[in-house]
Amino acid sequence: MKGLVLVTGANGFIGGHLCEGLRQAGFELRTLNRHAAPGDERSFRMDLARDPCPHGLLHNVDAIFHLAGKAHDLAGNDNDASTYHRINTEGTRKLLEAAKLAGVKRFIFFSSVKAVGESDMQAMNETFDLPAVTPYGRSKFEAEQLVLHGDYVPHPVVIRPAMVYGNTEKGNLSRMIKAIRWGLFPPLPEMHNRRSMVHVDDIVRAAILADETPQAAGQVYIVTDGHCYSTRQIYDWVRASLGRSPVRWAIPMEFLNGLAKVGDMIGYLIGRRFVFDSAALRKLAGSAWYLSDKIERELGFKANRTLPEALPDIIRFLKLK
């Protein structure tokens, strides 16, 4: 065995894959979730917002892989900054303080590319320093600063994944695939936008590499699969993977802009965001383009999976074909 590690948020999509990857790599596991597995002495329960760290949680633990937290509200309806701060920032501080007392050596923090601002105009790397624009992003950035500069552990690392894809029911990609399958997602024009993504198996590999490589200490690493995808490309690849024929036409942008404005008006009247509005259109048409050159150069990381290659497997998992 390589040593005992703690995985927080182990019941989540990435957490579950990480636990399996760590087991295969020879690590002994302990987990922390909001709901512990009954009768499993390796499973601990903690509400990051309210609870102190459980007694014995970090006894003999060499490393912490910290994924637990309040996830980004993809619908944009939850912008409670205090809740994000209490869970993502202060919850991380609790773990770091307990880690220091217990003599934990390594702390691998799963942050987000949303921890800094965005630009449609350029590829972003770890030097990009515009302030985060959402409460979620700010809470993640504040937690990053604690991890990197709080002097809690000798080997702190921050991982910023691009959008993670893989076999899961959750997330924008799965929703898009289902909408295309049922004819509810129209053919958008090719806008040549650029979206960075990464397969869950590759983010697991990157995290374990960051834990095991001494040069990673004190570093921030963006992780992508090394490719950029436009929304129209994804649409066409999903149709092909579903066995559907190509669509040769597209809805004009002028019509989409008008529809988004109608959605804005409906949202204003009902007091919450409508299913399609200007923000949703910006997400579909905009770019979020990141470079993972640093982790490739410093740690020798290279992604094994790409979206077009993974789509058939995701569609089989979703039982859509």
- Decide if 12 contacts 166 (C-beta within 8 A): no
- Decide if 113 contacts 161 (C-beta within 8 A): yes
Q: What is the pLDDT of residues 181-208, one digit of tens each?
A: 999 999 999 999 999 999 999 999 999 9
**Res. 304 pLDDT band, cuts 50 70 90:** very high
| pLDDT score at 153 | 98
Sign of CA dihedral 282, 117, 139, 103: positive
> Cα(165)–Cα(314) distance, rounded to whole angstroms?
9
| pLDDT score at 2 | 85
First to last CA, the chain: 41
**Res. 29 pLDDT band, cuts 50 70 90:** very high
Spell 108-132 as b/e; 16+ CB within 10 A means b.
Answer: bbbbbbbbbebeeeeebebebeeeb
Would you state the structure tokens that stand for residue 155, as one six-digit string? Answer: 């080997």
Q: Which is higher by pLDDT, 129 or 181?
A: 181
> Residue 73 pLDDT > 70, yes or no?
no
> Cα(162)–Cα(225) distance, rounded to whole angstroms?
9
Q: Which is higher by pLDDT, 223 or 130?
A: 223
- Name 44's Cβ contacts closer than 8 Å, sequence gap at least 6: 30, 31, 32, 33, 36, 54, 57
Quick one: which of 216, 163, 211 has its CA closest to 14?
Answer: 163
Angle, CA 13 vertex, CA 9 and CA 19 arms, to 5°: 60
> Residue 144 pLDDT > 70, yes or no?
yes
Q: What is the pTM of this model?
A: 0.93
Sign of CA dihedral 223, 227, 232, 237: negative
- Decide if 17 contacts 204 (C-beta within 8 A): yes
| Average pLDDT of every residue of the chain | 93
CA dihedral defined by 293, 297, 298, 301, rounded to 10 degrees? 80
Phi then psi for residue 237, to 5 deg, are -65, -40
| pLDDT score at 129 | 87
User: Per DSSP, what are the bridge partners of residue 32?
Assistant: 8, 44
Would you state the structure tokens that stand for residue 245, as one six-digit string? Answer: 């024929």
Helix axes 91-102, 135-149, angle to 10 degrees: 20
Q: Determine the length of the chain.
A: 321
- Decide if 117 contacts 138 (C-beta within 8 A): no
> Residue 78 pLDDT > 80, yes or no?
no
Q: What is the pLDDT of residues 88-120, one digit of tens each?
A: 999 999 999 999 999 999 999 999 999 999 888
Q: What is the pLDDT of residues 225-254, one digit of tens each?
A: 999 999 999 999 999 999 999 999 999 999
> Residue 303 pLDDT > 90, yes or no?
yes
Residue 10 gets which letter from DSSP? T
| pLDDT score at 1 | 66
Instruction: Quote the percentage of the chain above a pLDDT of 70.
Output: 97
> Residue 286 pLDDT > 70, yes or no?
yes
Architecture of the domain made up of 4-167+195-228+289-307: 3-Layer(aba) Sandwich (3.40)
- Name 149's Cβ contacts closer than 8 Å, sequence gap at least 6: none
| pLDDT score at 150 | 96
Quick one: which of 104, 9, 97 has its CA closest to 47?
Answer: 9
Q: Which is higher by pLDDT, 174 or 71?
A: 174
